[in-house]
Structure 1
Amino acid sequence: MISKYLPSRDDTYGLVTIQTLIIESLGKVPRARDKGFEDQQDTSMLSACLYAAAAVSIFVPTTFCCAFVVSGANVGGSRGKITMSTKRDPSLDSPSSDRFRIGYLSDIEGHWDYFLECVQRSNVLDWEDVDDCALLSTANDRNKGITFKRLILRPDTHFVYGGDTVDKGPGDIRLVRALVSLKKRYPDRVHLLVGNRDLNKLRLLSELSESDMKRDLDCIPKPFWDRDAKSLKEYLLEVQLNTNGAAGDSGTAKSLDECNNRAERLRYMLKHTMGCPETFEFRREEIQILTKIFDEYPHSCEMHDFTPIGDLGDESNHIIIADEDVVESFLYEMSQEGSLYQYLKLSQIAAILGNTIFVHGAIDSLTMKFVPSLDTKFEIPLSQHPFSASNTPTGGIYVESVHEWVESLNEFLKIGLADFDERPEWNEDRSSRGGESLLAIQNRPAMWGRSVVCNSYADGGVIATTDAEQERKQALRSAQEQLDPLVFEGIASDVMDPAPAHWLLNHGIQRIVVGHKPTGDCPAVLSSKYVGVEIVAVDTSYANRKDLNCGGTSVMKKFGDSRGNAIAIVEITGICSSCNRLETSGVLACGAEYYNIFPCLSISDHTDVNDIGDPYLGTRLSDGWWIKAAVPPNYHLCRGSGRFVEYKLLPILNI
């Protein structure tokens, strides 16, 4: 098998293929941190891999070699792992010689176990032990299965979190605290972006306030951006019906007014206006965990820097957390002492690092250059639609320089949060509240489709589809003809549009990195060969593949029913911030490991760089399938439409 893939001495991509083939036999990929065999791994597999490595060394130049080593324990790992380290000639611009590296994660959404695995695999993030803090002595005595760590950044690296920290798992508070602590300790090297799930929590203080609880239910409308959503009154009538039905003849029937409490209001908001029906119970679970560890919640702010890691088993399940405790937790985390509030205060809407720009949503012909007005309302816009022949924008301004545009967006966020600080609740006639413009920017209809936070690439698990293109064209026609901003909900931005690409390239930007929209079981990438800009979208929150279930029996899903087994690590590495390449690694939904290197992007010529990137990654074949990852001896292909996603393998030699 090995001989089929032997490269010439000048074929550096072939060397990477050989390297990956050997590593695939080991069931792992190369990273700065070793992730090798468990102690009980079959030694015959190791022997076979050593034999393969020896066979390859006959043909591969001596500048490339593989070494097997035994490593010690890592955080979350076990001792005595057999691991693989890779050495290359420095002239090949290998990861070991890179002088610049950015780590990127996004849309963790409270999936705590997923985050721990991401850190374990990262070349940028790590944990350090915190053993000598007097504040932790009591907690350590009480929790024998827990260790306390602090998230740290490795030397000469940067880290970007792309937004959406909360809502889909029992780790919201711990994740946000870890990121906030990291940002405070590395303010110039850590960049936190806001996502829609972060910004929409600004609604909680006003919509759960005493004055709002007294409103007539008939006066509270459905969420304006979702025609199919229930109104609050419809939801509460269902709650009343279900509660009284469960009570039977016990005489404990509740009136509608009794059902209209803060807990049910919050459940309604989470389920019908924020798209996260399980979040209330996830928060209850996390409060149980934190109460068991720290003996109280909320606990001292001095403890927020310390991340508890370990398994409590069922020890926290007996702790009773009332519905009102859950409500108070959401309000506390948005108070000035709360972790999510601090995250927002430390965050940005956009960030530029060298030749790469990061936003949560998308940079397209509608969002490019546009900065919303601070007077923008979180409602169906009453202003003139922005599609007239005039170049004068409505509801905002245009900024020509990309760097000044980013600065203006971040200033918009800063001013909006200051407004929220001053008046977090409604004014007397309920016509305005602080931070209203920030609620608008995380909602596409309120922005006439010009939200850099919520516009999105990707469709059907890939970066672009013909179906999405047709839907986008129809939506734009409807927006102009019917003046209906709701048509922007759910459409995908045009990655092939040359206008935003030319604008970015003229200002030295060659890569866009985003999250927000699910991309299947690995990152969805548009090769720079199409429009000159490489576009990287990463969100594995709906990566599970039901087609892998055998005979109707669900297979083991490491990260739950939604994420399944998939995990994606995205890093940008190179000789400097203006000459670098994309590296993606992780695990596909089927359980296969991958490690891919994309072609180098450089603002200026670097004759000393030997580009080892695979030019086929991020490209579309003539039959509509996209090449998403290389898993030698095959490419991992994907295509789809909407939420339908399908995969297949194609031998690399067939390209």
Structure 2
Amino acid sequence: MRVRTPFRCSPHPCEYEIAFVSDVEGDLDYFNRWVAGSRCVAYTGSDEAALTLTHARAYFVYGGDVPDHGRGSEQLLRLLVGLKRAFPRRVALLVGNRDLNKLRLTSECAPSDLARPHWSIPAPHWDASAPTLSQHLEQVAAARGGATAESCDCAAERLRWMYENTLGCPATFEARRAELAALRSVGSATGDNGGGGGGGGGAAVSDEEVVAAAVADVMPGGAMSNYLRHAFSEPSRNLPGTFAGAMSNYLRHAFSEPSRNLPGTLAGAMSNYLRHACVAAVFGQTLFAHGAVDARTAGYVPDDSTRFCLPAAPQAGRMVDSVSEWVDALNGLLERGLADHAARPEWDALRGV
């Protein structure tokens, strides 16, 4: 394999102080400790409701992987998006695998996919020790006593199985439930219970509501989608808005009872994040990206037609020769991909896109 010549660094001297943190994964306490020690990023008030940059030369890069393990995923998403909106040219929010892989939830938690027989869904191909969905449901049934895999097969158990065995975050389902309950309690105290009626301030969050919130997160208009779709120095203004009612329709038909009491501030937290994020960014002479950049990957741009294939198959792509071309091309790929997801939030017939 031919090793490519490394990208040439920018000739301009660095005039920035750049703060960087990554992979917080929902641990808001950790993030708060990081902010307390930062010279560039601070909270605007004692309520820790918004962030700001502390001086004119301060810049900030979040390296990706916002949610999952902690109980502050939704709050962290909104804090980061708020900072990006306040300082669009001095803040870069990168996408990580834990951010992008949530897009699959609009397919795998959709009624059409939930109708697939549980025995037809295999274990993840990369983990020989992981159970199949059927094995997971049998374990759940045994723990409940007298139940069957079929009687336990529902959106919540499929999402638990996905989190535990395909997304590497076994505690996420309950972490999300705890955060939703806490935010509902705050919403009740402030008179914001999502506008759906029914009260319920501080009431327990059902399994169905956890699933509904997880899917709503990545629908257009949500925090993670917004994070991804606003990846660039200028907001992306021309993405389709045809799915404004898609999630409400989904919620009406996916569950036996609609989810009425989720806090209104939670609608699409991950979606908003994705609308504001990018694959790569350059400040001064430094390239920022989530994951490794090596001789094989530097300068490579996948084609828009790239599909997920098992077994792996050659995919179309191209090479570019400069950092700026590469960053622009990767971010353009993300923008078009998010527009495609907004237009087609469920799998195609081959389950490859």
Give the TM-score normalised by the residue count of structure 2: 0.77
The equivalent residue for 1:369 is 299
> Shift of the alpha carbon at 1:368?
1.1
2:185 is the counterpart of 1:255: no
More helix by share: 2
1:7-46 mapped onto 2 (5 Å cutoff)? none
Moved over 6 A (4+): none
Per-residue CA deviations over 1:353-374 (Å, capped at 9, x if unaligned) read: 1110111101112211111122
More relative contact order, 1 or 2 (CA 8 Å, 6+ apart) = 2
- Kindly indicate whether residue 2 of structure 2 is the aligned counterpart of residue 101 of structure 1: no
Deviates more, 1:196-205 or 1:369-378: 369-378
Structure 2 SS opposite 1:149: coil
Q: What is the rounded CA distance, in whole Å, between the counterparts of 1:110 and 1:297 in structure 2?
A: 23
In structure 1, what residue type is equivalent to 2:342?
D
The answer to whether structure 1 residue 193 and structure 2 residue 94 are counterparts is yes
Q: Which of residues 181, 192, 198 is equivalent to 2:82? A: 181
8 Å contact kept, 2:185–2:202:
no
User: Does the residue aligned with 2:219 lie in a helix, a strand or coil?
Assistant: coil
The one-letter code matched in structure 2 to 1:406 is V
CA distance in 2, matches of 1:366, 1:107: 24
SS of match in other structure, 1:129: coil
- Judge conservation of contact 2:19–2:58 (CA < 8 Å) in 1: yes
1:355 correspondence with 2:285 = yes
User: Is the partner of 1:254 in helix, strand or coil?
Assistant: coil
Is there any run of 5+ residues in structure 2 with no aligned partner, and where? 1-13, 222-267
Query: Residue in 2 aligned with 1:342?
Result: 272
Shift of 1:239: 0.9
Where 1:225 maps in the other structure, the secondary structure is coil
Gaps of 5+ in 1: 1-97, 131-146, 245-252, 301-315, 385-393, 437-655
Equivalent in 414, 419, 424 of residue 345 of structure 2: 424
Q: Classify the secondary structure of the residue corresponding to 1:230.
A: coil
1:149 aligns with 2:49: yes
1:289 positional shift: 1.1
Number of matched pairs: 287
> 1:251-293, CA deviations, whole angstroms, 9 ceiling, x for partnerless residues?
xx22222210111001000000001000111111111110111
CA deviations over 1:393-412 (Å, ceiling 9, x no partner): x5311111122111111111
SS at match of 2:50: strand
Partner Cα separation in structure 2 for residue 154 and residue 425 of structure 1: 42
- Output aligned runs, 1:287-436, within 5 Å: 287-295=180-188, 299=194, 319-337=203-221, 338-384=268-314, 394-427=315-348, 429-432=349-352, 436=353
SS of 1:367's partner is: coil
Q: Using a 3 Å threshold, how does the CA distance of structure 1 residues 413 and 298 change in structure 2: closer, same or farther? A: farther
How far does residue 416 in structure 1 lie from its aligned partner after superposition? 0.7
Alpha carbons of 1:204 and 1:431: their partners in 2 closer, same or farther (altered >3 Å)? closer
Q: Alpha-carbon deviation of 1:175?
A: 0.2
Q: Deviations over 1:281-311 (max 9, x none)?
A: 11111111101111177747xxxxxxxxxxx
Flag the structure with higher strand content: 1
Tell me, in whole angstroms, the C-alpha distance in 2 between the residues paired with 1:413 and 1:397. Answer: 16
- Provide the identity percentage: 40
- Please state if 1:214 is matched with 2:107: no
**Equivalent position amino acid for 2:327 in 1:** V
Q: Given the alignment of the two structures, is residue 123 of structure 1 paired with residue 24 of structure 2, yes or no?
A: no
Contact 2:219 2:342 in 1 (8 A): no
Structure 2 counterpart of 1:210, one-letter code: P
Structure number with bigger Rg: 1
Out of 192, 195, 203, the position equivalent to 2:104 is 203
TM-score, scaled to structure 1: 0.42
CA root-mean-square deviation: 2.1
Which whole-Å CA distance do the structure 2 matches of 1:365 and 1:117 have between them? Answer: 36
Whether the aligned pair in 1 keeps the contact of 2:67 and 2:73 (CA below 8 Å) is yes
